[in-house]
Structure formats: structure tokens, C-alpha cells
Amino acid sequence: MFKVLSRGPAFARLWGAARSTTRVAPLCSITTTTRSQRYLSQTPSLLTSSIPIRALSRPPPSGLLRRGQRRHYQGYDRYGRPLHDVKPLITADGFKRVARSPGTHAVVVLAFGGACIFYFANLETVPVSGRTRFNVYGAEAVREAGEMQYKAILYQLEQQGGRILPEWDWRTTRVRKVMEKLIPFSGMAGEDWEIYVIDDPKTANAFVLPGGKVFVFSGILPMARSDSALAAVLGHEIAHNVADHVSERMSQAIGTNILLYSLMALTGFIGFGPLLMHYFGSRLLDITFGNPMSRLQESEADYIGLMMMAEACYDPAEAVKFWAYMESAKVADVPEWLSTHPSNENRIKKIQEWLPEAIDRRKQSDCHTTTAFADLFKRALSRGVIIVG
């Protein structure tokens, strides 16, 4: 049904070698600057293109230089004209002219109409919660994205000297035991589930990739003080795949990217406009669209995971205790509107609201006839409730 992958002696050697070296900041931030500075001081021409080199090496007509003007700070084009006299490609007047043109209006109306048709043609219902959402990606595309992410995570882990616990480790065994009990109730027993427990006692986290690869940081295991609490964590992770949350986020990124690049184009006539828009605009879009979507998905995964653990005969009340414990162990917090996750307080409140339904499901569930419930879980919940985050 699923397997536990572990790293052998080769990985241990790699890990040992990696640990013996000092951790450094990302290469792009250090080496680029140093190298540029070295080249700039020794061979400035290497960093400039062929046309400006010729223009700069040619003395400008004397009439173009003002008294006291420092020649080496002044740039000239190929005709010897000071660069500040050269007109920019996009000007405010030019932009206004284009914005007022009937042709532009027609393009905007057509683009908006096309976007609306595209949006409504790709609406679907989340199988468990009954929520309507926009999704353009099929299962295969998401699986491929998950596979790429998986390779990137393993590479990053090796680079940082991380270690995946072996199959026989008691922490891996504990996770596997709970997963084995949950998966038949997920409606995704056919998935090729793989468990990776990362040896990192300081990190209390877990995540799942499309395709069934579940990553658990060992730091979360002491926080989940019972198997039911661990089932709440793992049920939540499995639920992200049941509800296909990654494809929904990838679909949302299409809209936000179009919006961001349109705003960057609109600010093209202001010097650093596009750059500033990219920086601040992407953060604003995260706060406006990305974070609320993420919080909604987290809440939805809490609901689906809670029902799943109840069906698997774990005690759903332990989910409340787990989040209360996480809240008490928390060091710092950011306001919920800035966060991709709901606050623990809101999480607990919602889970308490869903608790009677979960307890009811546990009473009705026959935990031993799992095959009958494998698909029943999805069918029973497809009536669902709408969760508004």
C-alpha cells in the first residue's frame, strides 16, 4: 500500500561530509557581488555590452559637455548625445495615447470576456467539502509538479546535511502504523504512499506532495503525544491530496501572475516602476489572494482529516488537545491575515464545531471492515458541508 524509504550508508556519508562543512548563505547573494566587484575594479569593460564601450571610449563633442561636468560619470549614445537626452521607450504621453485608443478598449473588453469564460468553464466542486473552486490542472500535471518538487526537496536536504530516518527507527515505525490505519479511509488507497521522517527534532512540521509522498519532521512527534494526535496531523496531510489543493493553488497562480505582470507593464514608464511593482505587488497579491486561499485550504484539510481519523476509530477530541498543545509551545506569532495558516485559536474553534459530527462518524464506523469504507468515506462526505475559511 505504501513503503517507507530510507537512505543507506552512502547517504550517511554524504550527510557526514556535508555536516563537516560550514553552512554558507545562498551562493547567488555572496559570490555574485564579490565577483562583480572584482571584475568592476579590474576589467570594467567585461561587464558592459559592445555598443556602450565604443560610445564611452569615444570623446563626446566638446559642446555637449557643461563646465565642470565629470566626464567619466556621463554616458553617451553612439551618436555622442548625452544619455539623459535620449527618449525612453515608454513615456507617460505615449501611454495615455494608447490607453485612450478605441483599439485598446476593444482588446481589454475581449480579454476580460475571454477570462470570464475561461474562469466559469473551469469551475468544479471539491469532492469532500462541496466548495466550488477554479481548477485548470489535471491529475497528471500536478503529479509531475510534485515529482519535481520531491527531487528538489531531497537535493536541498542533502545540501543542508539533513537525514531521513531509516525504516527500522521507532519514529518511522510510529508514523507508518498510523498511516496504515488512515489510508484505507482516505479513498486514496491506490496511491503510492511513501513516508519520509526527517531527523530534525527542532522542527514541528509535516507536509505532503502530490503523488503521496508524506514528509514528517521528527520534531512534531513529541508534540503529538498520542497516536490519535498523530492521526490528526497525518489525516490533515492526506486530506490536502484528497481535496487536490496543489492544483487549485497552481490554477490561482495563473490569475495572480497575469495581474502582476499587467501591473508591471502599466508602471513601465516610471523608472523603477516595474521592479517596485514586482516586489510590493507580489506581496500585496499574497495578502489579498494567496494567504486567504491557503488558510481556506488548511481549514478544509482540518475538516477532512478530522472526519478521516474518526472513521479510522481514532479519538477526534485529541485533535483539539494537539492544537492547544501547539499553541502553548508557540514562541512567536504573526497576525492571521499575514499568515498562510489559520491561527491555532481559530483552528481549535472550528474543530470543536465539527467534533459532534466526527464523534458520530466514529460511532458508526466499523474500523475493521476497511475496504467497505474506503470509498464510502468519499461518498458519505460528498454531501459535505461548505467550509468558509
- Compare residues 4 and 301 and give the one whose CB is closer to Zn ion: 301
* Stretch binding Zn ion (CB under 5 A), from 134-142, 263-271, 274-282, 291-299: 291-299
Q: Which of 124, 144, 237, 300 is catalytic?
A: 237
- Decide: 2 and 195 in contact? Cβ < 8 Å: yes
* Closest distance of CB 123 from Zn ion, Å: 23
Cα angle 49, 52, 54 (rounded to 5 degrees) comes to: 105
| Residues in a beta bridge with 124 | 133
Residue 140: all three cell numbers together: 497528471
- Compare residues 55 and 308 and give the one whose CB is closer to Zn ion: 308
* Closest distance of CB 339 from Zn ion, Å: 12
CA-to-CA distance for 49 and 72, rounded, in angstroms?
A: 17
* Stretch binding Zn ion (CB under 5 A), from 23-31, 270-278, 296-304, 353-361: 296-304
Which candidate, 357, 252, 349, places its Cα nearest to that of 297? 252
* Stretch binding Zn ion (CB under 5 A), from 52-60, 301-309, 351-359, 365-373: 301-309
Size of the site for Zn ion (CB under 5 A): 2
Output DSSP code: residue 62: G
- Compare residues 7 and 213 and give the one whose CB is closer to Zn ion: 213
* Window 131 to 170, contacts with Zn ion (CB under 5 A): none
DSSP SS3 for 209: strand
Sheet holding 206-209, edge to edge: 2-4, 193-198, 213-217, 206-209
CA-to-CA distance for 83 and 80, rounded, in angstroms?
A: 9
Which candidate, 320, 297, 307, 280, places its Cα nearest to that of 373? 307
* Stretch binding Zn ion (CB under 5 A), from 2-10, 41-49, 114-122, 295-303: 295-303
* Closest distance of CB 248 from Zn ion, Å: 13
- Compare residues 244 and 298 and give the one whose CB is closer to Zn ion: 298
- Compare residues 298 and 315 and give the one whose CB is closer to Zn ion: 298
* Window 322 to 351, contacts with Zn ion (CB under 5 A): none
φ/ψ of residue 178, rounded to 5 = -70, -40
Tell me how long the chain is.
389
CB burial string 267-301: b at 16+ within 10 A, e below: bebeeebbeebbeebeeebbeeebbebbbbbbbbb
* Closest distance of CB 246 from Zn ion, Å: 11
* Closest distance of CB 233 from Zn ion, Å: 9
* Closest distance of CB 241 from Zn ion, Å: 11
300 noted as active-site residue: no
Query: What residues contact 82, with CB distance under 8 A and at least 6 apart?
Result: 60, 64, 74, 75, 76
* Stretch binding Zn ion (CB under 5 A), from 20-28, 152-160, 224-232, 297-305: 297-305
Question: First CA to last CA across the chain, in angstroms?
Answer: 33
Residue 178: all three cell numbers together: 498510523
* Closest distance of CB 341 from Zn ion, Å: 7
- Compare residues 301 and 312 and give the one whose CB is closer to Zn ion: 301
- Compare residues 191 and 298 and give the one whose CB is closer to Zn ion: 298
Please give the residue ranges that form the binding site for Zn ion (CB under 5 A).
298, 301
- Active-site residues, by number, are 237
